[in-house]
Amino acid sequence: MDEVVERLLRFVSEDPRASYHFAIGTDCQVHPNHTKFITGLVLHRIGRGAWACYRPYVLSRELDSIHEKLAFETSLSQEMAAYLEELSVIRKMEELLLPYVYQGAELCAFIDIDAGTEPCVSPTALYVQEMVARVQTIGCYVPRVKPEAYVASSYANRFTKRPARIVM
């Protein structure tokens, strides 16, 4: 994680006058005998690129419940946010941007929830309010749901497709 923090801060310091969106999001895919979770971190320099990485987590059972999957995804994102909070990552990024705030510098932090709000389209809609409330308890992260929650629904999603190699 030290390298991740170093790279995040270096990315911001390369263009401290820019506007940034920092988002954490988790998605999962059920495979035979396990469920693979990917937590993505994306630092988007609006209009000028992004830096991203991800952390895999494998649960050695198949999760069938939509509620359980969504709750576990949200928990993993919250866990990552709490860890980054211990390292003062958001504060450090803000300190780099602060001298340039009147020149357009800004930072918005999000936790992306892999859930949609349309009951006819998404079976996760029943749980959106619960997950949003959980994220709001963190404080410095704004919850986002589909279609805005691209870190969970797109970035992390692409890395969940291959089954994990489970070593015993």
Q: In this structure, is residue 7 part of a structural domain?
A: yes
What is the C-alpha separation between 22 and 38, in angstroms, rounded? 17
Say if residue 147 is preceded by a cis peptide, omega within 30 of 0: yes
Q: Is residue 165 part of a domain?
A: no
| pLDDT above 60 for 168 | no
Sign of CA dihedral 82, 26, 20, 147: negative
- For the chain, how many structural domains are there in total? 1
Tokens encoding 144: 């986002």
CB atoms within 10 A of CB 42: 21
pLDDT surpassing 90 at residue 164: no
Inside any domain, residue 167: no
Choice between 126 and 109, residue whose per-residue pLDDT is larger = 109
Instruction: Give a yes or no: residue 168 inside a domain.
Output: no
Helix (H) or strand (E) run with residue 134 in it:
helix 128-136
- Per-residue pLDDT reduced to its tens digit, 83-118: 999 999 999 999 999 999 999 999 999 999 999 888
- 91 within domain boundaries: yes
Residue 165 in this model has a pLDDT that exceeds 90? no
Question: Given 3-state DSSP classes, what are the helix, strand and coil percentages for the chain, each rounded to the nearest 5?
Answer: 45, 25, 30
**pLDDT band, very low/low/confident/very high, at 166 (cuts 50, 70, 90):** low
Using a cut of 0.85, tell me whether the model's pTM lies above it: yes
Residue range of the domain that includes 140: 2-158
Question: What's the token pair of residue 18?
Answer: 């820019």
Q: Give domain status of residue 163, yes or no.
A: no
pLDDT in tens, 5-46: 999 999 999 999 999 999 999 999 999 999 999 999 999 999
Q: Is residue 51 part of a domain?
A: yes
Q: What percent of the chain has pLDDT over 90?
A: 85
Q: Token digits for 19?
A: 């506007």
Tell me, yes or no, whether 49 lies in a domain.
Answer: yes
